[in-house]
Amino acid sequence: MSDYYAPIQDMQFVIDEIAGLDAIAKLPNFEDATPDLVAAVLEQAAVLATEVFSPLNPSGDEHGTHIDGGVVVSPPGYAEAYRQFVDNGWQGIGKSAAIDGQGLPFLMHSAVAEMWYASNMAFALCPLLTSGAIEAIESHATESLQKLYLPKLVTGEWSGTMNLTEPQAGSDLAAIRTRAEREGDNYLIYGQKIYITWGEHELSDNIVHLVLARLPDAPAGVKGISLFLVPKYLVNEDGSRGERNDLRVVSVESKMGIHSSPTCVMSYGDQDGAIGYLIGEEHNGLACMFTMMNNARLEVGMQGVAISERAYQSAVLFARERVQGVAHGHSQRSAIIHHPDVRRMLMQMRAIAQAGRALAYYASAQTDLAHHAESAEQRASHQRRVDLIIPIVKGWCTEMAQEATYLGVQVHGGMGFIEETGAAQYMRDARILTIYEGTTGIQALDLMGRKLLHDKGQAMADLIEELTAFSQQLDATGGDIGALATRFSTALAALEEATRFYLQNVADDPELGSAVGVDYLMLAGNVVCAWLMARAAIAAQGRIDAGSSDHFYPHKIKTALFFAEHILPRSEAQAVMVKAGSDSVMAIAADNF
């Protein structure tokens, strides 16, 4: 299995040129986010990822997790790795200094998180859920709960989880049965949850579960769901750990991938009831949980970027070393990297990873601006962009990760089907990304319904207007970059046409959004990624014009050209599929399948 190396130069380039670090560093409380500090943070994160997390990835996959005496046993080395993570303060890197975080932008959290996911995705799921729990508690919990729980969550001494799913209720949260009963100032929680990532383990001193449940007088449907903080160990008034709460792990799932991440069935209230504390208002838990969910969806999109990068690095190393056949222009057997079809696959993987990185970092920067921009009007504008872009980040990056990891196996050939190369693990690990935290279909429903219909397409219109202005700028650019202009304008026109078709026809076809939503989401993702890749190409050309001889910059331009020529043209076909509507999708009755 190949070693992982953090692509720091590309990360730094995207942070500077696409995400706009200069503008973010001018926001209140982010003045310390200087280029030198950012570079130092990336370098230190790379050391932890490459020297600590990555070596545990194959052994963790092979070892997996199991329950012994009611305790989940993690793979060897995981406890020590987590302790290093905590001791160096990484959990708090994107958290506010007001809650004892590092006070750096969320953009920086996203960049270092990419390293965690790429080096050992299953391990990194633990701090991912903790980050989401911190955000939900900070946004919605009472001041007393914040003071009691946030300090040790921010350090990582305690970890967090998200408890939504139940055996009879997958994505349909209206069907949950876990119940809560009022008991003085607290609540007693009874029920069972499934698919709880890192729901039980011994890496942290406590686990803070955020649990959706119903009160006895709750209205039906999702409007009757409340959110509760349910700790593994109760917490004393001085912040010390108290007695064990009435909750337990029932089992851990045997999964296709992410083997070293314990995916748990959790039971609450088998005896006297698990003590829980209300987050937000009664019956408004789903809105509170969506704070955590949106964080998680952006993080899962970043996982797609990370696993694409990891698969790409592995494939490049193998292609350089694997000798087979005589390539054109060679007189003897050569490494397969010289064969055009292998180069096609490597370029596709490279373009997917770099485009996804640009998209995810852009979304993270918009998140910083939505929270910290100077005026309320500016914050609201950036928040509209965040809301629009998150389902695209989650959907596009994770779907394209399937393609990248598939190609990684293909580059390896028969060896890709053998576990020891690691290519198969990346493909197995990536498969969950389009499923958890909302399937791609659910991201599409979010985009088509909550986003496009909610504001009658205004947020998308604003994005298209910005992209149209850029397209005109691109058209005036000469050389290789100018060659992008026609392809980009064609794809942008396809997005605009598909958007118009949907908004004009959805009232007469209520199944339209669900039937064509994934096609529309991928179309939007392709166009936005092409925009960001073209911006990267222009920035790279600027560095060349300024005298840089670093090969990174012309390669950045060539990768953008490949994206425009080999991935972006899918947009036209996707627009055709959107305009086909729902008729053929729904043409055969359910009973006839």
Q: How far apart are CA 210 and CA 286, in angstroms?
A: 11
Say if residues 54 and 4 touch (Cβ distance below 8 Å).
Answer: yes
Six-digit token pair at 502?
């949907």
- 223's tokens: 């409007």
Dist CA 219 CA 20 (whole Å): 45
- Residue 90: what residue type? W
Beta-carbon neighbour count of residue 220 at 10 Å?
A: 8
Residue pair 22/92 in contact (Cβ under 8 Å)? The answer is no
Contact 124, 113 (CB under 8 A): yes
CA distance 496 to 386: 19
Q: Is 200 a catalytic residue?
A: no
Contact 149, 312 (CB under 8 A): no
Tokens 């899918």 sit on residue: 570
Q: CA-CA distance, 6 to 425, in Å (whole number)? A: 19
Measured on CA atoms in the order 493, 494, 500, 504, is the torsion positive or negative?
positive
Angle at 320 between CA 315 and CA 324, to 5 degrees: 100
Beta bridge partners of residue 169, listed in sequence order = 166
Distance between CA 349 and CA 368 in Å, rounded? 29
- Strands 274-279 and 233-235, by their bridges, are unpaired
Q: Residue 356 is encoded by which pair of tokens?
A: 């996804």
**What CA–CA distances, in Å, run from 271 to 193, 208, 215, 236?**
16, 19, 19, 21
What is the 3 state secondary structure string of 368-407?
HHHHHCCCHHHHHHHHHHHHHHHHHHHHHHHHHHHHHHHH
Look up tokens 């997005």; give the residue. Answer: 495
Catalytic pick among 135, 138, 200, 437: 437
Query: What does DSSP say about strands 66-68 and 274-279: parallel, antiparallel, or unpaired?
Result: unpaired
Supply 227's token pair.
């959110």
What values do phi and psi take at 540, rounded to 5? -65, -40
Q: Are 536 and 19 in contact (CB under 8 A)?
A: no
Q: What is the three-class DSSP state of 244? A: strand
Catalytic residues: 437
